[in-house]
Structure 1
Amino acid sequence: MRRWWSTLFPLSKPCWFCSTPIRSLPFACIWKQICFTCQEHFMRINGSVCQKCGRPMVEEENPACLDCSQIDSSTFTPNRSVVLYQGQAKKIIQIFKYRGQERLAVPLGRWMAEVCFQYYRSVPFSLITYVPLHENRLKQRGFNQAELLAQVMGRQLRLPVQKLLIRRRETSSQSQRSRKERLQALQHAFILNEEFDSTWLSRQCVLLVDDVYTTGSTLRECVKPLSEIGVKQVYTITFAR
């Protein structure tokens, strides 16, 4: 009786991103587990998007945005993102990555899984992987935010999470670099994890996870070693765009 009553009339619990109490059903989507104030500060990506990078677009525009149309299409894999990288999203990502708030991987990863199901529902994914950190950066931070997001998504989508890539060269923060500087810094920075058989891997459909999409250079460099062994289907997803 008590369980039935709590399902119909759930108790208040804190918003995922602040202390404001809200009422929501246990299996409600993440958006309904966020208070109205936080909702107002997230810019969700809905409607028409660039079919390559996932940037919001008006319906009358071409399938690809201006930036994507100027880059060799052979280097692209489809990307989708949850929100724009501004306001509350930027603040949450910074708290998550640089203040050790690993618990934020749960709402962010679940939200990403919901968007993944929305856009990639018909894609037959066989596994999830993530953008790796260099071992020195991993020691400093204590965790890889992309890996945590991937693990949460794996549980939600019931897919295995594998470390397919190794970051063999450490690079400084990309946020303050130009597109050209990012490309130069990231060239050949990622290699395939030798623990995986390339013949087996070439038959898989891979979902690649990261926290933020800016120019897309990091994700494209991660896709290169997978493409070189013949992996034909690689899709990417990030929390912010």
Structure 2
Amino acid sequence: MKEFLCSSCRRRAPGFDYARSAARYEDVVREALHAFKFRGRRALAAPLGDLLVEALEGRLPAGVPALLVPVPLHPRRQRERGFNQASLLARRVGRVWRCPVRDDVLVRAVATHSQTELDAPARRANVRNAFRLRRPELIAGRHVLLVDDILTTGATLSECARCLREGGAAAVGALTVARVV
């Protein structure tokens, strides 16, 4: 997992057990994610989700995951955007892997600021206590795989994983289309 994080973030223990990303956040992948997330190109969920599936074949522990949980958006942000990109990606991956996807496990209770211009400490502070576990009975004793579009510092995924662990998840992994190097 450490190879996915900068040296400062490596010193902090992430809340998740492992992270897998399909690509680096650069070039065509970066352009596709921007179009998908910020320009409403929902059709890109299929090829980006397929990229995840293809790149991660054989790179996850056996029998994993039991459940896919997309990183939630705050309801206001989702209304503005019209969709949750992590949810669309998770649904595509879940369809191919025949794995259940649950959008109702986590909720983003706090409308956080955009993380795009924040450094690592500010990102951690921004998402601290921003998520709440809504359906602990769905994750108790299970291996949960969080799904998001980009892994930068791991702050968002770590905070989500903390909630899942407190709710009884046996293990928590993170799955993203891209990672920032």
Q: TM-score, normalised to structure 1's length?
A: 0.69
Q: 2:113 aligns with which of 159, 172, 175?
A: 172
Could you tell me which residue of structure 2 aligns to residue 83 of structure 1? 23
Percent of aligned positions that are identical? 37
The 1:214/1:65 distance shift into structure 2, 3 A limit, reads: closer
> Aligned partners of 1:204, 1:213: CA distance in 2, in Å?
23
> Aligned partners of 2:111, 2:47: CA distance in 1, in Å?
29
Could you tell me which residue of structure 1 aligns to residue 40 of structure 2? 100
Could you tell me which residue of structure 2 aligns to residue 15 of structure 1? none
Residue 148 in structure 1 maps to residue 88 in structure 2: yes
Residue 185 in structure 1 maps to residue 126 in structure 2: yes
Q: 1:227 aligns with which of 152, 162, 165?
A: 165
Q: CA deviation at 1:172?
A: 1.7
Note the residue ranges of structure 1 that are not aligned, 5 or more in a row.
1-51, 56-63
For residue 118 of structure 1, give the secondary structure of its aligned residue in structure 2.
coil
Look at both structures and tell me which one has the larger radius of gyration over its CA atoms: 1
Residue 240 in structure 1 maps to residue 178 in structure 2: yes
Residue 214 in structure 1 maps to residue 152 in structure 2: yes
For residue 119 of structure 1, give the secondary structure of its aligned residue in structure 2.
coil
Q: CA deviation at 1:76?
A: 3.7
Note the residue ranges of structure 2 that are not aligned, 5 or more in a row.
none
Q: What RMSD over aligned residues (CA atoms) do the two structures have, in Å?
A: 1.7
Q: CA deviation at 1:202?
A: 1.4
The 1:235/1:54 distance shift into structure 2, 3 A limit, reads: farther
Q: TM-score, normalised to structure 2's length?
A: 0.91
Q: Which amino acid aligns with 2:157?
A: L
1:10-49 aligned within 5 A: none
Specify which structure has the bigger relative contact order, considering alpha-carbon pairs within 8 angstroms and separated by 6 or more residues. 2
Tell me the number of residue pairs that the alignment of Structure 1 and Structure 2 aligns: 178
* Higher normalized strand content (fraction of residues): 2
> Aligned partners of 2:81, 2:137: CA distance in 1, in Å?
34
Residues 54 and 81, structure 1, Cα contact 8 Å, conserved in 2: no
> Aligned partners of 1:98, 1:69: CA distance in 2, in Å?
29
For residue 226 of structure 1, give the secondary structure of its aligned residue in structure 2.
helix
Runs of 4+ with >6 A deviation: none
Q: Which amino acid aligns with 2:132?
A: I
The 1:54/1:158 distance shift into structure 2, 3 A limit, reads: farther
> Aligned partners of 2:162, 2:61: CA distance in 1, in Å?
24
